[in-house]
Amino acid sequence: MVCMWRPRKLTPEQLEERRLEAGRLLRAGRLSQAEIARRLDVSRTAVSQWAKRLREGPHGSAALKRRAKPGRPARLTPRQWQQLLDVLARGAIKAGFDTERWTLPRVRVMIQRRFGVTYHAHYLSARLRDLGWSAQVPAIRARERDEELIRAWLDRDWPRIKKKLAARAP
């Protein structure tokens, strides 16, 4: 069997398609549940549960379709989240803050200003991480820092020091 790349996390659409494929294979009746599980790279238990849903469900393969997500509807649409990411990418100063540092309270204020919606900081942290945005803490550097002098030291002095240390080592 050829090993093929599989994403770490399947989308809801991909999961539904896998269940429906299992349903087609189960209805065809040519393969055992264990063989279907191997083909679809799922557990035997999953195939067994899907078979049970097909038998007991009133609507056949509709029993394997995706169900509506429970809970409160999202406050921001995917498009609004993308707009927020665009604002974050442009920088905090352009968004009206004193420094370039994005903090969760600042992101919260930005969402409130732009979309009129409030979120808790803990939720924002998880949601932004899911969208690929990570908190970056800027490196603190002295204003007096002389990059050319540092580069020259690394190019000229450090190799000489390193040689001496290596020569002393047993």
Residues 82 and 60 in one domain: no
The answer to whether position 140 is within a domain reads no
Q: How many domains does the chain have?
A: 2
CB atoms within 10 A of CB 61: 17
The answer to whether position 18 is within a domain reads yes
Residues 43 and 17 in one domain: yes
What does pTM read for this prediction? 0.48
The answer to whether position 149 is within a domain reads no
Decide if 124 contacts 115 (C-beta within 8 A). no
The answer to whether position 112 is within a domain reads yes
Residues 47 and 87 in one domain: no
Decide if 131 contacts 100 (C-beta within 8 A). no
Residues 87 and 118 in one domain: yes
Q: Which residues are CB-neighbours of 93 under 8 A, at least 6 positions away? A: 99, 100
Decide if 97 contacts 113 (C-beta within 8 A). no
Q: How confident is the prediction along the chain (170 residues), in pLDDT tens digits per residue?
A: 445 556 778 888 899 999 999 999 998 989 999 999 999 989 999 999 999 988 887 777 788 888 888 888 889 999 999 999 999 999 889 999 998 888 899 999 999 999 999 998 888 988 998 888 876 666 777 888 888 999 999 999 999 988 888 888 77
**DSSP sequence for 34-101:** HHHHHHHT--HHHHHHHHHHHHH-TTGGGGGSPPPPPSSPPSS-HHHHHHHHHHHHH-TTTTT-SSS-
**Residue 21, domain extent:** 12-64
